[in-house]
Structure 1
Amino acid sequence: MSNENKTDLLIVGCGVAGLSAAVTALEKGLSVTVLERSGEADFGGNSRWTEAYMRMKNDSEISDDFEDHFAENIGWNIEPTVLGALSDAYHDWPPTVRAHSLPDPEVISTFADQVPPTIQWLKGLGLRFEPQPIYLLTQNTTRIAAQGGGLGIITRLMEEAVKLGARVLYRTTAVGLVLDDAGQVSGIRTKGPDGRVEILSAKNVVLASGGYQGNPEMMTHYIGEKARHIRPVAPGGHYNKGEGIRMALEIGAAPAGEFGSYHAEPIDPRSRQPEAVVFIYPYGILVNKNAKRFVDEAPGTTDAHYDNITRSIADQPDGISYVIFDAQVEDIPRWTTSIRSEVKPFEAETITDLAAMIDLNPETLNETVECFNAACPAGDDPFSPLQLDGRGVDLDPVKSNWCRPIVKAPFRALPVISSNCFTFGGLKVDPHARVIDQDGKIIPGLYAAGETMGIYHRVYTGSTSVLRGLVFGRQAALHAASATN
C-alpha cells in the first residue's frame, strides 16, 4: 500500500457534513482524504442547493422547540419498555434499545448543545448568520440562515480544507467498506474516474454521502410503488445513491430513522428551478386528477404541516395535484414569495375553462368548488392569512383555516407534485457520530453524519438538516482526532 493511499480520516461526501468533518480534523492535525462522486464544479450534493435555514432564534441560541419537536416525533407505536429504558443511564440500556431506530435522547441533546458552538466555529471561518426572508407565509418557530446559503457554507469549508492540506478525489465513488481481522473499519473500496476499483486505507472513516433520494431502486424498496411519483427537490439529490448507508448495513450497522419516509416539499413539476416550491395551497384547495379534494390544506401553520400534506400528494393518481385559487389571493401580503416557480399559473375567467386547461373534468371540478364555497363560513370572522383564523369547512376532508369562497376571476391553478428533499432512513449513531451495530455495539473506525445518519420519524423537524450535517460531521472528526492522537 503506497503512502498516498493511507490517511488518518477518510471522508465520503463533500456536503456540509463531510466538509465540516474535514476542516475540523485538519485543524486537529489529522491527514484527510475526501471522496466526492461529482466533478469539482458540482460538489456538495444537496448542500449546494439549500438555503440552509436553521432552527435558531439567533446565531447563539437554538429555537425553544428544538428538542421538543424531536421528542414528539421519535417514531410510531414505540413499546413502553423501550421508552422506559431511555430514562436509565445509557450504559444500562439493553442492546435492543441501543440499536433501536428511534433517535436517542443523548444524540438529540448533544445535537442541541453543539449547535451554538458549531455556528461560532463557522463564524470564525468568516461565515455569517442572520434572520432571512422565508417563502413560508406562516411558521411556528424561529429560523436564521447562512449568508450565501448552503453553497456559501461548502465553498468556504472547501477553501479551508484545501488550504489545510485535504486531498480531495472528485468523480470517485465509495463502493464498499474494508475491515481488518479484528472487525475494525480500515478503509474503503473506491471506483475512480477511470472505473478502476482501488482500496484506500484509513484509521477512521466518516460516511457523509447523503441519503438515497437519487436511487430509484432504494426508493422503491423502502418507500414503495409511489416512489415513481417522487423526484429529488434539487439537482444535488441525484448524486445521493445510498451506497454509504447500504455498505454500512452490509457489515451489520443498525438502521435508524424512518426508512419508508422522506422530507417532502410541494413543487411545480413544470419548473426548471431547484426547489420550485408552491406554498400557496393553504389559501385555496388541493384537488387530484379526479378533481376531488383529498387533504386538509390548512390544519395549522404551513411549516408544521407541509411535510405530511406533500407526502399525501404522492399517493394521488399519477402523484399529482392542483392548487385552485382565485384573484382574492392579491389580498395576501407577499403571496408571490410562496411560489418559486418561474412558470406562470394557469389562469381562466371560469372554473370550467380552468378545468379544460389542466385536463380535469369540468363538471366535477365545478362541483368540488361549489361544495367548498357553500361550506365556507358566512359570519363576520375576519380572514387573517398570516395567522391561524379558524375559518374552516366541515367537509370530508375538512379544511381547518383560511377558508373563503373561490369566486373572484381570474381563477388560477398550479400543478403540484411531491419532491424529496432527503430520505429519513439512515444509520444509528451515538453522540460522537460513531455507527452502532445491530447488537448495540460501536463499529470501530466508522462514523456517519448528515443525511447518512438517521434521526427523523413522522414529521421532519424543520430547518435542522444542515445543522445535523455540520454538528455531527464535526463531532465525528473531534472524536476521531481524540482517538488518533
Structure 2
Amino acid sequence: MSESHQQLFDVTVVGAGIAGLSAAVAAASAGARVAVLERAPEEEFGGNTRWTEAYFRMSSEDEVSADFEERLAENAGDHLDPYIIEQVAQPYQFWPSFVKAHGMPDPELISELAGRAAETVKWLKTFGVRFDTLPTYFITAAAPRLMPVGGGLALIEALRDHALKLDVQIFYETTAKSLSRTPDDRFLLACSGARGRIAFNSAALVLGSGGFEGNPEMLAQYIGGAARYLRPVARGGYQNRGEGIRMALDAGAAPAGDFSAYHAEPLDPRSAQPEALVMNFPYGILVNRDCNRFVDEAPGPVDVHYDHISRAIADQPGGIAYVIYDASIDDVPNWKRSIRTDQPAITADTVDALADKLGLASERLAATVAAYNDACGKGEFKALEVDGLATHGLFPKKSNWSRRIEKGPFAAYPIISGICFTYGGVKTNRHAEVVDCDGRPIEGLYAAGEAAGLYYQVYTGATSVMRGAVFGKTAGERAAALAQRSRER
C-alpha cells in the first residue's frame, strides 16, 4: 500500500478493551501520538471488558489477595518438567532461551502482576474510577474481590474519555488484517473497515485485541469437538476472533498459555442477556442428558471451582447439563444472588414430573436422585462455609453441602458452558514485550490482556481485567519510550 494510504503514528494499539485503552492512555500520557483500532461500533466498544464486573483479586486498594501468587503458580500447567522449575528459580538473565519462551506463567510475570496491581489501581482512580468491595454473585468465596464501581464499563469509559483528551485517535469498525515491517523497521498494519482499506504505520504496536472466543474455526482447531457447544458469555466475546494472536505468531512470537482450554462460566442457554449465570449447583446435583452425575458439584468455594465444572459440562452429551435441587435451598441465605439468568427455574411437584418437563427419562433421573440421597450422610449443614458434608460410596463424590433432594417443589435450570475468554496467546515478558521462540523480545511489539497467553488448567479468579490494566499500562509506557528513541535516531 502506498504511503499516501498510510496513517502515521508513534504507537498503534489494536483493541479498545481494558488492555488496549490502558496502553493508549499510558502511551499518550508519555507524549506519543497514538491510534486505537476497534472492530466494534462506537456504541459497543470495549470487548469483554464492557460486559464484566471487572473484579480485581485484591484485599484492598493497596495489596493483592494473600493467595494471589500461589494460585497463579499452582495453575502454571500440567506435569511441568522439574528442570524447567529449577531454571526459573534462578535470576531471569540466566534462564535458557527455551525457558524464557516457555508458555507457562513464569514467576517473572506473576511477581510483576502482583507488584504493580496497587499502583495501577491508583492510576485508574486518577481518571475518576472508584473502587469498592461490593457484593458478588458468589455465595461462598475463597478470595476477596475489589470492584470498580460501575464495573468494566466504568473503566473503559473513563479511559476512553481521557484518551480523547490526549488526542488519541480511535478508529471504530476497523479490523487489523495483516502485519509486516517497513524497510526502516516500522510496523505496517493493514486493516479494513467502514472507511475501506487503510494501513497504520508506527514505530511500536500493542496488541490488546483479545482472544479467539469469537472464532469458531480457531475454537475447533485448538479446543476440539466441544467447541460446537460453546458460545461467548457476552456479546463482546464475538468481536474477539484471534487475528492479533495469529499475526504475532506469524511474526515469530512464541505461543503461551493453554490453547486447548478456556475460562468457562455456567450459562442458562435460554437467556440472551450477558452473563446469564447459574451458580447454585453446590446445593444440588448436576446431571447430563442421560441423567448421570459426572462431576463433584461442591469440591469447595464456588469461586474457585465453577471454571472447571463449567468446562466439564461442555464434554457431556449435547454440551448441556441440568442442576437439580429442591425447596430446601431456601435455607441458603441470598442463594438467588447466584442466579443471573432472566429465565425462570423449571419446577414440578415430583422428580418424575420435573424429568418430563426437562425432556429427560423419568425413571433414570429418579434413580440418580435416589442414589444420591442414599449416599448423603449425617452432619451439620453450613450453607456459607465449606462444611465437609460429603456423600459416601458415590462416584463422583460430592464433597460439601450434600443434603437429600426430597422436599418439593423440585426445580432445575439448564446449563451450558459459556466461554468467557480463551487461555492461549503469545508469550510476553514482564515488560509486556512479545518474545520470540528463543525468548528474545521482538522489538516494538507488545501484547496485553487476552492476546497474551497466561492461564492453564483453572482460571485464577478476578485476575483477567487486572492483568489487562497492569500490562496494558506497561506496554503503553514501553511503546512510547521506544517510539521516542526511534524519533531520535
Query: TM-score of the superposition, structure 2-length normalised?
Result: 0.97
Displacement of 1:483 after TM fit? 2.3
RMSD (CA atoms): 1.1
Aligned partners of 2:132, 2:279: CA distance in 1, in Å? 23
1:157 aligns with 2:159: yes
Match of 1:347 in 2: 347
Give the letter for the 2:16 counterpart: C
Paired residue type of 1:448: A
1:384 is matched with 382
Identity across the alignment (%):
50
Whether 1:180 and 2:182 are equivalent positions in the alignment is yes
Question: Could you tell me which amino acid in structure 2 is paired with residue 368 of structure 1?
Answer: T
The one-letter code sitting in structure 2 at the alignment partner of 1:286 is L
How far does the alpha carbon of each residue in 1:161-214 deviate from its partner, in whole angstroms, 9 at most, with x for none?
A: 1111011111100011121347x45121111214x4332100100000000000
1:353-372 equivalent positions in 2, closer than 5 A: 353-372=353-372
Q: Which amino acid aligns with 1:391?
A: L
SS at match of 1:54: coil
Give the Cα separation in 2 of the matches to 1:253 and 1:113: 26
* Aligned counterpart, 1:482: 481
1:187 maps to a residue whose letter is L
Query: Which residue pairs with 2:441 in the alignment?
Result: 442
The aligned residue for residue 124 of structure 2 is 122
After alignment, is 228-237 or 91-100 more displaced? 91-100
TM-score normalised to structure 1 length: 0.98
Q: Post-superposition shift, 1:108?
A: 1.2
Provide the secondary structure at the position in 2 that maps to 1:383: coil
Over residues 436-470 of structure 1, what are the superposed CA-to-partner deviations in whole Å (9 max), with x where a residue is unaligned? 01121111110000100011011111000000110
Kept in 2, the 8 Å contact 1:185–1:205? The answer is: no
Shift of 1:361: 0.2
**Paired residues, number:** 481
Q: Distance in 2 between matches of 1:81 and 1:152?
A: 44
Matches within 5 A, 1:102-117: 102-117=104-119
Judge conservation of contact 1:187–1:205 (CA < 8 Å) in 2: no
What is the distance in 2 between the residues matched to 1:85 and 1:2? 50
1:185·1:444 contact (CA, 8 Å) conserved in 2? no
CA distance in structure 2 between the aligned counterparts of 1:335 and 1:37, rounded to whole angstroms? 38
Residue 467 (structure 2) aligns with: 468
1:370-404, CA deviations, whole angstroms, 9 ceiling, x for partnerless residues?
Answer: 11111111x3x211111011111120111000011
Q: In structure 2, how many angstroms separate the alpha carbons of the residues matched to 1:93 and 1:171?
A: 42
- In the TM superposition, what is the alpha-carbon distance from 1:312 to its structure 2 partner? 0.3
Q: Which amino acid aligns with 1:192?
A: G
**CA shift at 1:272, angstroms?**
1.6
Contact 1:16 1:47 in 2 (8 A): yes
Could you say which residue in structure 2 is the equivalent of 1:190?
191
Q: CA deviation at 1:4?
A: 7.0
- 2:21: which partner in 1? 19
Which of 157, 165, 168 is the equivalent residue of 1:166?
168
Residue of 76, 82, 85 corresponding to 1:83: 85
Question: How far apart are 1:481 and its partner, in Å?
Answer: 2.2
Distance 2:455 2:266 in 1: 19
Q: Measure how far apart 1:77 and its partner are.
A: 1.3
Quick check: 1:65 aligned with 2:51?
Answer: no
User: Aligned equivalents of 1:76 and 1:91: distance in 2?
Assistant: 25
The whole-number CA distance in structure 1 between the counterparts of 2:107 and 2:420 is: 25
- d(CA) in 1 for partners of 2:39 and 2:186? 21
1:76-130 superposed Cα distances (whole Å, 9 cap, x missing partner): 1111111111112212211111111011211111111111001001111111001
* 1:405-443 C-alpha deviation (Å, 9 max, x unpaired): 101110001000000000000110011100001121111
Partner SS for 1:367: helix
1:2 Cα deviation after fit: 4.6
Report matched runs for 1:232-247 at 5 Å: 232-247=232-247
Distance in 1 between residues matched to 2:197 and 2:109, nearest whole Å: 35
SS of residue paired to 2:252: coil
